[in-house]
């Protein structure tokens, strides 16, 4: 692949956490690797703020500030997904017009009843609506319907993921999922494909919690005759006890880590070693060297454990390194309480730094 257009597409429904930063960081690294040869490569930021109830402006700010603080810089204007709903809708109706999708009027109660019956009879039926597609009356309806994608019964979808390798899934295992809801709002499954296509994204690096969605999304690409991007699905990060990394293990919100006194360099060093090794004598590695030597194809597909002790080790190392003292002084001066120690006795603060 020549020019790479990659993106980070967080939903502002929570604070930017270490897992998100790692996804953004790896996108940033592969784009900056490519830029050396293909300067038009880009790393884009899209805020997926379509869930009106759960999305909050404070989370948007937190994501933007967190990425900036980490030095993970993107190109172009930020894309806000909520501003593109008409375009998503337009594509849903295009799919409908071209008979790649159908109108469905099943109520959630009906669908739930069918789901339960199938479960009781041990039937693994993915196509939960099997009546609307062939009902002419329903297909002629002007309102009060949702739009579902048509998935063929036969055939398979194959992905050659840079991390998960080759995986094939039968179409019969994929549901005829909703692309446009009853209220006219598009679903994530549709919006993400339309935005990635319009933004010319050709390389998608995201968490492997989206791996199953990829098989569904490829159906949308195929029906629209759009080029399918390359994929890399990153394994999730776990805490020391093996469960998904969460607050229980330590601070996970990036701005919280900033407040505690961690340096971006230390966080980057720790994050990049999850599932990847620079194969050198020690594990100390900074962003420029990472850009030179990182290879996404060598990233392990099993999940890795985030080690806070190691983070402390790196932070301690970088604080003692060339810019460490300046960082520390800036950190103290920006802290409402700690800055008073500095004002009182600058030398004492310097001595404390050297001692610790």
Contact positions vs ligand GLU (CB under 6 A): 9-11, 48, 192, 206, 210
Q: How far is the CB of 328 from ligand GLU (least distance, A)?
A: 34
Of 81 and 176, which CB lies nearer to ligand GLU in the complex structure? Answer: 81
Nearest to ligand GLU of 48, 253 (CB atom): 48
To ligand GLU, the closest distance from the beta carbon of 9 in angstroms equals 4
Nearer CB in complex with ligand GLU: 192/218: 192
Strand partners, 207: 234
CB of residue 320 to ligand GLU, shortest distance in Å: 36
Which of these, 255, 214, 243, lies nearest to 306 by C-alpha position? 243
DSSP 21-73: HHHHHHHHHHHHHHHTT-TT-EEEEEE----TTT--HHHHHHHHHHHHHHT--
Of the pair 48, 265, the CB lying nearest ligand GLU is at 48
How distant, in Å, are the alpha carbons of 48, 213, 214, 240, 304 from that of 209? 16, 8, 10, 20, 15
Provide, rounded to whole angstroms, the least separation between the CB of residue 273 and ligand GLU: 23
Contact 40, 200 (CB under 8 A): no
Task: Give the nearer residue to ligand GLU in terms of CB position, either 14 or 261.
Answer: 14
The distance of closest approach from Cβ of residue 91 to ligand GLU in the complex, given in angstroms and rounded to an integer, is: 16
Helix (H) or strand (E) holding 319: helix 308-320
Q: Nearer Cβ to ligand GLU, position 234 or 349?
A: 234
Residue 346 exposure: Cα atoms within 13 Å on the Cβ side: 5
Minimum distance from residue 96 beta carbon to ligand GLU (Å): 23
Q: How far is the CB of 116 from ligand GLU (least distance, A)?
A: 29
DSSP for residue 171: G
How many beta carbons lie within 10 A of that of residue 38, not counting itself?
A: 13
Nearer Cβ to ligand GLU (54/113): 54
Distance CA(37)–CA(16), nearest Å, equals 31
Q: Where does residue 225 fall: left (phi above 0), alpha (psi -120 to 50 degrees), or beta otherwise?
A: left
């Amino acid at each position: 692949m020549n020019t790479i257009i990659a993106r980070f597409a967080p939903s502002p429904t929570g604070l930017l956490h270490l897992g998100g930063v790692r996804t953004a960081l790896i996108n940033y690294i592969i784009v900056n690797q490519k830029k050396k040869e293909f300067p038009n490569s880009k790393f884009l930021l899209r805020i997926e703020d379509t869930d009106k109830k759960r999305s909050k402006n404070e989370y948007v700010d937190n994501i933007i500030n967190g990425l900036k603080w980490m030095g993970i810089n993107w190109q172009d204007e930020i894309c806000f997904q909520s501003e593109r709903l008409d375009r998503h809708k337009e594509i849903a109706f295009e799919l409908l017009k071209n008979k790649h999708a159908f109108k469905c009027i099943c109520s959630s109660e009906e669908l739930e009843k069918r789901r339960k019956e199938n479960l009781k009879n041990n039937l693994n039926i993915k196509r939960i609506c099997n009546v609307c597609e062939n009902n002419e009356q329903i297909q002629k309806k002007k309102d009060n319907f949702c739009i579902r994608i048509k998935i063929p019964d036969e055939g398979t979808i194959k992905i050659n993921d840079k991390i998960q390798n080759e995986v094939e899934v039968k179409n019969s295992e994929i549901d005829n999922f909703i692309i446009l809801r009853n209220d006219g709002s598009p679903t994530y499954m549709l919006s993400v494909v339309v935005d990635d296509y319009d933004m010319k994204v050709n390389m998608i690096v995201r968490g492997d919690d989206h791996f199953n969605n990829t098989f569904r999304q490829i159906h949308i690409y195929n029906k629209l005759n759009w080029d399918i991007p390359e994929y890399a699905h990153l394994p999730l990060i776990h805490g020391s006890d093996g469960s998904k990394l969460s607050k229980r293990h330590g601070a996970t919100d990036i701005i919280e880590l900033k407040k505690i006194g961690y340096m971006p360099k230390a966080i980057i060093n720790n994050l990049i070693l999850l599932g990847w090794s620079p194969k050198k004598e020690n594990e100390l590695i900074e962003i420029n060297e990472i850009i030179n030597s990182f290879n996404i194809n060598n990233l392990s597909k099993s999940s890795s454990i985030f080690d806070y002790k190691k983070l402390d080790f790196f932070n301690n190392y970088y604080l003692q390194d060339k810019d460490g003292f300046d960082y520390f002084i800036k950190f103290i001066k920006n802290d409402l309480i700690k800055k008073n120690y500095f004002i009182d006795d600058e030398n004492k603060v310097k001595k404390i730094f050297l001692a610790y």
